Amino acid sequence: MRTFETSNEDETIAAGVEIAKGLPRRCVVLLEGNLGAGKTTITKGFARALGADETEVSSPTFTLIHEYGPRLVHVDLYRLESEREYWTLGLEEYFDRDCVVLVEWASKFRQLLPKDAIEVRIEHRGGDGRRITVD
């Protein structure tokens, strides 16, 4: 387990860079945290580390899947309400690609996601503070 304590947006992005540097080329990362915890902010760090344009990173809440360059896919399962909706996304195709797949709100469908996924939990610690835990 690895833990990062951040006190502002830049430090949260930097934590994302550090986490991404240690990942295998092909993996699934489950981003867990409440609304406003910093999941999209940390994704900017993943984008920076994986050679994508971090300024293009936005919350995938309405467009459920964003691809940032060839190596980063950002998925948001928040609005899905059933397994049927989950399966219509075709996520399993991304799991076989040479990329990092970040999945927000993964706990809603954890039983359908790869068992070897890496978990990143982001806790809001008041103000701009965050505790980020990687398992």
29-77: per-residue pLDDT in tens? Answer: 999 999 889 999 999 999 999 999 999 998 766 789 999 999 999 999 9
CA distance 86 to 77: 8
What is the average pLDDT value for the chain, to the nearest integer? 94
C-alpha R_g of the chain: 14
- Residue with tokens 């996520």, as numbered in its chain: 91
pLDDT at 36: 86
pLDDT at 61: 66
Total count of residues recorded for the chain? 135
pLDDT at 126: 86
Q: How many domains does the chain have?
A: 1
In DSSP terms, which residues pair with 31 in a beta bridge? 104, 120
Domain span including residue 37: 2-134
pLDDT at 15: 98
pLDDT at 131: 98
pLDDT at 98: 94
pLDDT at 35: 87
Other Cβ atoms closer than 10 A to 80? 18
H or E element in which residue 39 lies: helix 39-49
- CATH number, domain with residue 112: 3.40.50.300
Q: Which two tokens stand for residue 89?
A: 């996304």
